[in-house]
Amino acid sequence: MTERFEKELNEDKITILEEFYSIQGEGFNTGKAAYFVRTGGCDLACRWCDSKESWKPEEHQFVSIKNILKRVAETSADTIVVTGGEPLIYNFDRFCELAKENKQTLMIETCGAHEYSGNWDWVCLSPKKQKPPQSIYFQKLNELKVIIYDKTDLEWAEECANKVSDNCVLFLQPEWSRFEETGKVVVEYVKNNTKWNVSVQAHKFLKIP
């Protein structure tokens, strides 16, 4: 991480691609209103990523955490969802500390490949084969959500599911660009493996952020 990044982080700032108030569109909390904070920066480069503009952190601005929380307070949101990019390439301890002072419920979606930080009410792990999660995440997560691009991803999903607790909710999510094909694969697999649930990107059907 560059000297500039270290300085900015020490000043209670995080790098942001976008922030907005909307509805959670996928996974266990589908349909819940939440304020979304999408960080800039990701080192995974998934071929099917729908936010490639987030990959290079130096292309995004550092934003004061306190200013983000002021904008949250201007909405009706009682929940903040942090996503990316990959948010945990940064340390989120300070962000969570300040957000908790504002009585916000805090949720994060992460690949789990970087050091764990923050105080979260809900952790969704979306693991990627090219950079597997650190073992600590399997002790922390509430939700495992695996993106299915082709049938080989089902093996990866089962490998990850074998490491979670009994309280973790399991989701398979069809990759959007191949939804016609992957949707059928996921539905049939869940019908035969009922510990899993289907996650659909409802926000794309609703055409909302």
**143: CATH:** 3.20.20.70
For residue 76, the model assigns a pLDDT of 97
For residue 72, the model assigns a pLDDT of 98
Question: Averaged in consecutive runs of 10 residues, what is the pLDDT profile of the chain (209 residues)?
Answer: 49 88 97 95 64 58 93 98 92 95 97 96 95 95 96 96 97 92 96 98 87
For residue 125, the model assigns a pLDDT of 98
Q: Which domain, by its residues, includes 76?
A: 3-206
**In sequence order, what DSSP letters do the residues of the chain get, joined into one string?**
--HHHHHHHHTTEEEEEEEEEEE--SSTTTT-EEEEEEES--S---TT-S-GGGS-GGGSEEEEHHHHHHHHHTSS--EEEEESS-GGGS--HHHHHHHHHTT-EEEEEE-S-S---S--SEEEE--BTTBPPPTTHHHH-SEEEEEESSTHHHHHHHHHHTTS-TT-EEEEEE-GGGHHHHHHHHHHHHHH-TTEEE---HHHHHT--
How many structural domains is the chain composed of? 1
For residue 160, the model assigns a pLDDT of 98
